[in-house]
C-alpha cells in the first residue's frame, strides 16, 4: 500500500508538557511550537497537552481523530513526569479503548541535537553582546531534584557536550532545588557569564525564576540567554524525531518524502563537525 493511499488522519502528534495552571506564558510557548511543527507538514494533527494546565493530556488525546498517537515529551530529562506520570495519564485517558495506539518518544532533553542548538544560541548571544567566546563562561540552569537525579544528569550531559566543542572558557551547571545553586556556580567563573535556562517553557521558572536569579547576581557581565523553547531549531528537531519513527512505518505516513527530507537534514546536523566562528 502506498503512502498516498493511507488516510490523512492515520497518525497524530501530541506535544506533552508540564504547563502551568496560573498565567499562560509556559502554555503559550508550547502552543506556538506546535504550530511551527505542524507547518513542517509531517502530520496534519499536532496538538498540545499539559500535565498542569489546559488542555490536559486526557482532553487532547481524546480530541485527536487519529488512531495512532505519537507523544513527544517536552521535558529536559527522563524524570518522574516522563517515566511515570505521563504514561499514567495516557493510560487513564484511553481506558479500555483498544483501537488507539500510543508511542512515546524520548524526551526533548535527551536528543543529541539539542546541544548543538544550545551552542548556536550561546554563540549568537556572545556576538550580540560583543563578547569573545573563548573568554566567556556558560552556566546551564535547570530544575534539579533531591529525590531524582534525572534533571541533574541531563544538564551534566549537555554541559559535557558543550565542553567538547571547545568554544567557551568554561561550561558548568546550576540548579534551582539542589546545589550547586546559581550564585555558587557564578562565583566559580572569571570573566563574562551567560546563563541558559534548561526549561521547556517560559513559565514560572523560565520567564520568572531564571532571569530574576541572573539579575540578583548583581553582575554587569552576566546575561540570561533564554530557554529551550526559544531556540529557533526546536521545531525541526521534533519533526526529525517524528520523521525517524514514521520512516520505519511508511504505510502510516501521509507524506513520505517530507519525512525522509526532515530525517536526512537531522542526520546531517548530528553527524557534521560543528564549525563555529
Q: What is the pLDDT of residues 56-98, one digit of tens each?
A: 999 999 999 999 999 999 999 888 888 899 999 999 998 877 8
Give the model's confidence band at 26: pLDDT under 50 very low, under 70 low, under 90 confident, else very high. low
Residue 115, all three cell numbers:
546541544
Which of 19-23, 70-74, 169-173, 238-242 shows the lowest mean pLDDT across its residues?
19-23
What is the structure's pLDDT at 247?
85
The predicted structure's pLDDT at residue 209 = 83
> Does the pLDDT at position 8 exceed 60?
no
Which strands, in side-by-side order, build the sheet including 45-50? 45-50, 11-17, 68-73, 101-104
Q: Where are the alpha helices (DSSP H) in 70-217?
A: 80, 86-94, 113-129, 150-164, 182-187, 210-216
Question: pTM above 0.95?
Answer: no
Mean pLDDT confidence for 257-266: 45
In angstroms, the CA 150 to CA 76 distance is 9
Residue 14 pairs in a beta bridge with 47, 71
Cell of 91: 493510560
How many of the other CB atoms lie within 10 Å of CB of 6? 16
Domains defined along the chain, listed by start: 3-109+234-271 (3.40.50.1400), 112-230 (3.40.50.1400)
Residue 140 has pLDDT above 80, yes or no: yes
Amino acid at each position: 500500500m502506498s503512502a498516498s493511499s493511507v488516510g490523512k488522519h492515520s497518525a497524530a502528534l501530541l506535544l506533552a508538557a508540564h504547563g502551568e495552571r496560573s498565567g499562560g506564558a509556559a502554555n503559550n510557548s508550547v502552543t506556538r511550537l506546535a504550530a511551527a511543527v505542524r507547518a513542517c507538514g509531517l502530520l496534519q494533527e499536532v496538538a498540545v497537552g499539559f500535565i498542569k494546565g489546559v488542555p490536559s493530556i486526557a482532553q487532547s488525546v481524546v480530541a485527536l481523530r487519529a488512531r495512532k498517537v505519537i507523544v513527544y515529551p517536552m521535558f529536559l530529562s527522563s524524570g518522574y513526569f516522563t517515566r511515570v506520570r505521563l504514561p499514567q495519564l495516557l493510560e487513564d485517558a484511553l481506558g479500555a479503548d483498544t483501537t488507539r495506539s500510543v508511542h512515546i518518544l524520548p524526551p526533548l532533553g535527551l536528543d543529541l541535537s539539542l546541544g548543538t542548538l544550545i551552542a548556536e544560541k550561546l554563540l549568537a548571544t556572545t556576538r550580540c553582546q560583543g563578547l569573545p567566546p573563548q573568554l566567556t563562561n556558560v552556566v546551564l540552569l535547570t530544575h534539579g531534584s533531591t529525590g531524582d537525579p534525572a534533571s541533574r544528569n541531563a544538564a551534566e550531559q549537555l554541559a559535557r557536550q558543550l565542553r567538547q566543542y571547545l568554544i567557551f572558557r568554561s561550561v558548568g551547571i546550576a540548579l534551582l532545588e539542589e546545589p550547586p545553586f546559581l550564585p555558587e556556580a557564578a562565583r566559580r567563573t572569571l570573566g563574562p557569564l551567560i546563563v541558559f535556562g534548561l526549561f521547556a517553557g517560559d513559565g514560572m521558572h523560565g520567564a520568572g525564576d531564571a532571569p530574576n536569579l541572573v539579575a540578583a547576581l548583581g553582575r554587569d557581565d552576566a546575561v540570561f540567554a533564554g530557554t529551550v523553547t526559544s531556540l529557533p531549531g526546536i521545531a525541526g528537531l521534533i519533526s526529525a524525531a517524528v520523521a525517524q519513527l514514521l520512516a520505519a512505518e511508511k504505510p502510516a505516513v501521509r507524506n513520505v518524502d517530507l519525512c525522509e527530507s526532515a530525517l536526512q537534514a537531522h542526520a546531517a546536523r548530528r553527524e557534521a563537525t560543528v564549525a563555529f566562528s
